[in-house]
């Protein structure tokens, strides 16, 4: 159920680096890691994504609420190449949001950081909905990545929601700390609130539609409802 979890059970003192972008999957994974690990640190990536400022605001609000330190890492290679998360027109047209090797690059950066500081796990927020579209969001990818790591690093990658739907992930955040659903920024654009129209916002809305009983205030989440 939990991708990679078997690896962390054996760890004597469990310390994890959590990749946090302010989106739903990474926020739920962050909350899960707070419970499961003795110590965590957050890594946030600047890869010239349009939503950078909004994501950063969200990441710091979430991490600081739980007194967790944030390390920001610039990913030069993704800053230098064209990718759709830099392109407002592509985002608005809901084109494919594939960024070349993004999760491989992010994980590699986080693993270097974790290994250097003696942390034994990296936690990343994959989910079943995006796993259907992106091969680097799947349990198979995670297992293959951990196999590769056996050859080169003591760090293992864990993704607790890899087989969970977006709605289950929203529900998890709600049950842990519902106020965080007003702090998250899964949106691809850099607005004060989530735009309500990009692909990521539509996934969020669809999840919320199936969770009407939570009675969340949409005006605090989206610019356009
Ligand atoms: Zn949006």
- Rounded mean pLDDT of the chain? 92
Can you tell me the distance from the alpha carbon of 144 to that of 56, in angstroms, rounded to the nearest whole number?
Answer: 30
Q: What spacing in Å lies between the alpha carbon of 93 and ligand 1's midpoint?
A: 11
Token code pair at residue 211: 């969770």
Q: What spacing in Å lies between the alpha carbon of 197 and ligand 1's midpoint?
A: 5
Lowest mean pLDDT among 38-52, 60-74, 127-141: 127-141
Q: What spacing in Å lies between the alpha carbon of 189 and ligand 1's midpoint?
A: 6
Q: Is the pLDDT higher at 129 or at 122?
A: 122
Residue with tokens 């942390």: 119
**Mean pLDDT value of segment 109-116:** 96
Q: What spacing in Å lies between the alpha carbon of 121 and ligand 1's midpoint?
A: 30
Can you tell me the distance from the alpha carbon of 187 to that of 174, in angstroms, rounded to the nearest whole number?
Answer: 18
Q: 3-class SS at 174?
A: helix
The predicted-structure confidence for 52-101, as pLDDT tens digits, reads as follows: 999 999 999 999 999 999 999 999 998 998 888 888 888 888 888 888 88
Q: Is the pLDDT higher at 131 or at 69?
A: 69
- Is the pLDDT reported for residue 141 higher than 90? yes
Q: What spacing in Å lies between the alpha carbon of 20 and ligand 1's midpoint?
A: 17
- Indicate the CATH number of 13-220 among 3.40.50.620, 3.40.50.1110, 2.60.40.10, 3.30.70.600: 3.40.50.620
- Is the pLDDT reported for residue 1 higher than 60? no
């Amino acid at each position: 159920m939990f991708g990679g979890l078997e690896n962390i059970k054996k760890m004597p003192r469990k310390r994890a680096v959590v990749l946090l972008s302010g989106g739903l999957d990474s926020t739920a994974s962050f909350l899960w890691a707070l419970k499961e690990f003795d110590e965590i640190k957050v890594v946030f990536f600047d890869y010239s994504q349009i939503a950078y400022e909004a994501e950063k605001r969200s990441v710091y609000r979430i991490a600081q609420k739980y007194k967790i330190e944030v390390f920001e890492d610039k990913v030069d290679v993704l800053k230098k190449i064209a990718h759709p998360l830099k392109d407002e027109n592509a985002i608005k047209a809901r084109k494919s949001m594939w960024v070349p090797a993004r999760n491989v690059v992010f994980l590699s950066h986080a693993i270097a950081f974790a290994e250097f500081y003696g942390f034994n796990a990296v936690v990343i927020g994959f989910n079943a909905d995006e796993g259907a579209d992106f091969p680097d969001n799947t349990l198979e990818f995670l297992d293959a990545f951990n196999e590769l790591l056996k050859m080169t690093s003591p760090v293992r990658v864990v993704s607790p929601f890899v087989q969970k739907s977006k709605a289950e992930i929203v529900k998890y955040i709600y049950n842990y700390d519902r106020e965080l659903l007003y702090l998250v920024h899964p949106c691809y654009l850099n607005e004060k609130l989530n735009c309500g129209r990009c692909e990521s916002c539509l996934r969020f809305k669809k999840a919320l539609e199936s969770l009407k009983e939570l009675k969340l205030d949409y005006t605090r989440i989206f610019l356009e409802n």
